Structure 1
């Protein structure tokens, strides 16, 4: 069995929208029988994260570019963080590629 991928959902404060996005993504992943390790965090905590994938809203993209992050981390930027269809189209292929 492959190790679970670590996926972080990032928003400004690490509370509201990242948790909503994580819960929506859980539903999508369950539908695809993907059992990964999901967590959520504030953008200010990003530089210390050890993770495979970061999922966040498109408006945070410029902030991530300022951080010196592990080049292996894959980013998934969403226009609508609680849109199951968008999460399915953008996140699921990245997970399948990394597994």
Structure 2
């Protein structure tokens, strides 16, 4: 059975960097032939998202520590949010695993 994972890209305000990361990641998912439901939002809205995976910049790690995220949600932090190689290395395996479950 194949699942279509809900992947959200999160930044401070849910506008600039989260959208840039989402666009790069969508390209990676498409190249890999993996269907995802992707979106972008702010840290303050992250707890209310029905996310399988949340992707954010490493500098937001401490803010997520103080946020009530569903324990089943996988958090992936990137040092460079627009680096497709880092997205392939860190995000793609997590999304693939969920898609194959």
Say yes or no: TM over 0.5: yes
Return the offset for 1:49. 1.3
Structure 2: state its 5+ residue gaps.
none
Written as runs of structure 1 = structure 2, the 5 A alignment for 1:36-55 is 36-55=36-55
Partner of residue 27, structure 1: 27
Deviation at 1:69, TM superposition (A): 1.6
Aligned twin of 1:74: 74
Give deviations 1:10-66, integer Å, cap 9, x for gaps: 001100000000000011111100110000001111121111000000000111110
CA distance in 2, matches of 1:88, 1:20: 15
Aligned length: 99
1:64 corresponding residue in structure 2: 64
Distance 2:82 2:55 in 1: 11
Cα root mean square deviation, aligned: 0.9
- Between the aligned partners of 2:48 and 2:70, the Cα distance in structure 1 is 10
Rounded to whole Å, the distance in 2 between the matches of 1:3 and 1:97 is: 10
Cα distance, 1:3 vs. partner?
A: 2.7
Runs of 4+ in structure 1 off by over 2 angstroms are none
